[in-house]
Amino acid sequence: MVSTPTRTTAARPAAGGATSGNAAGGKTAGGKVQPPSASAPWKPRGTPAATVRAWGRGFWSALEGTGKSRNGSTYYLILGSTLALTAIGIMMVLSASSVEAIAAGESPYSAALKQGGFAAIGVFAMFVLSRVNVVWLRRFAWPVMFLAVALLGLVLLVGRSALGNQNWIDVGPFTFQPSEAAKLALALWMATVLARKEKLLHEWRHALIPVVVPGAAVVLGLILAGNDLGTAMIVMVIVAAALFFAGVRLAFFTISGAVLAVGTTILAVTSPNRMCRILSWTGQTCADGSDLNYQSTNGLYGLASGGWFGVGLGQSRQKYSWIPEAHNDFIFAIIGEELGLVGTLVVLVLFAILGAAIYRVVVAQHDVFHRVLAGSIMVWLLGQASVNMAVVTGLAPVIGVPLPFISYGGSALLMSLCAVGVVLSLARAQMDPGMQPKKMLKFGPAAFANSVRRARAARAARAAGKPAGQSAGRPAANPGRTPTRPAAHKPAATNPASKNRTKA
């Protein structure tokens, strides 16, 4: 008598070779799914990459939550990493600039106090922008773009030149760098224009005009006129990121990348200073015998002498004029010398957390404007940090690019914090309404718009002979009536351009 195959349990191991395949959790002869046995543990099927992606999704789901239970960890990861990097920057600016300040007859706290003042203003602006609906920023896109171009042109007329670059405008006792403000203005303007041309971006002329020509071309031309190739390279990366997140076809980037590579090569070859930097980076000697790789060499000495835990905070030797302007572009070398490998890894981890959290915000956006704006800011901050660290560690020739949040410079710190505030606004919108941080200011653009809307609704209700409480601005306590949602808060439609980008 042949018995019908039955389901085995984990407590009863399969016997014989005929059923040994079921020990891994396969199917029985009857087609029923059988759980894995204790003798042969279950192993996930699929490629290692799929396993890593599944693990990553599970980790972020457990950390962030899903649906209405989102706990807002992305918001607080962005906020925490930004504040930590800013605090580290103020501390390291104090350490790196004190020696040169004393040598110049100034207070050793002068640079750190200025940096702290700009940090306070920037943090306040960051919190204000984090409470403002990003949709409101769209109406300021064109004015701030024209203002940025005007300031870049003003730099060429009355700007101050330092170390071969003409980037700064003196405003009383402070200096302002318009190219830093141009980065955020350009990101906001490109997001506005690309969102309006969403359905036309599959055509080359709509992808180029007016974002690349004349918009980005004018900004790049004015920056290059001030002899600042490093900032121009970062602006090129921001433009490429905006087009990528807007869904422009990848073939466009291949041709554009080749053209930009040729243009960058021409700019480098035609400049003796840039060619000398490249030759010094490759270990050769310049025609005039100078060594423009001097900073990078001493930066490597500082990183090497720091060891695992550093020589101690404030005990750097390279900041004694061995590294000129140590609190600016080469502050990462001072971090490695004073805080050691552990300190540099802490900075790297903080930037990694910031990048991963902003990426979570970017991929959750369905609206083109939101996705392009957040993606451009992410590439701007992480790309600039990567270039700066590559220069300090000798992986790239010396380029005047500061380390975001850490290097000395009020304009760069202020604009970086404002950019993070925009991303925080998007991250806050993804949180469960009951867990969102409350509004910091009682009055603002959104509050003013709501008050105007309520006043109009009240007048309309009085004209119609209805009680003011039943107006559209203040829904009545009638369970049978569904309150209307203001037009500014309608959910964004699904963006088909993202699918085009994926398929391309």
Q: What is the pLDDT of residue 122?
A: 95
Look up tokens 């002329």; give the residue. 205
Kind of pairing between the strands at 160-162 and 165-171 = antiparallel
CA distances from 235 to 227, 311, 353 (A): 14, 37, 23
Q: What is the pLDDT of residue 170?
A: 81
CA pair distance 247, 241, nearest whole angstrom:
10
For the chain, the straight-line distance linking the first and the last C-alpha, in angstroms and rounded, comes to 61
Q: What is the pLDDT of residue 39?
A: 46
| Helices 73-103 and 110-130, axial angle in degrees (round to 10) | 160
Q: What is the pLDDT of residue 483?
A: 46
Q: What is the pLDDT of residue 71?
A: 61
Q: What is the pLDDT of residue 317?
A: 87
Which regions in the chain score pLDDT beneath 50?
A: 1-33, 35-44, 68-69, 441, 443-444, 468-498, 500-504
Which residue from 407, 418, 412 is spatially nearest to 111, judged by alpha carbons?
A: 407
Q: What is the pLDDT of residue 263?
A: 83
Q: What is the pLDDT of residue 69?
A: 43
Q: What is the pLDDT of residue 220?
A: 92
CA pair distance 141, 372, nearest whole angstrom:
13
Q: What is the pLDDT of residue 491?
A: 45
Q: What is the pLDDT of residue 474?
A: 44
